[in-house]
Amino acid sequence: GQNDELRVRGNGITDMQFYVYNRYGELVFESYTQDRGWDGTFRRTKLDPGVFAYMVRLTYINGYQEILKGDVTLVR
């Protein structure tokens, strides 16, 4: 019931591109809205626990742009 989805949250975001990759560099999730987060699945199949990389491109209301990268560990 907690931390069931990985989401991008923030105020003043006008454009967003959110990607999650597995350890082989395969894209397992993408979203372009804050309303949709990653639930640890790929093609409706639960993925095994592991480390996944993410990348987020953000554009804010004032025109500022940034790219955030990191990793997240999926546990079940």
Distance in angstroms (rounded) separating the CA atoms of residues 3 and 57: 22
- E-only strand ranges, 1-76: 13-21, 27-31, 41-42, 45-46, 50-60, 65-74
Average pLDDT, the chain: 96
What pLDDT band is residue 22 in, cutting at 50, 70 and 90?
very high
Mean pLDDT of the 48-72 span:
98
* pLDDT value for 2: 79
Residue 63: pLDDT band with limits 50, 70, 90: very high
Contact 53, 70 (CB under 8 A): yes
pTM: 0.92
18: which 2 tokens? 């959110």
Identify the band that residue 70 occupies on the pLDDT scale cut at 50, 70 and 90: very high
Separation of alpha carbons 46 and 69, rounded Å: 23
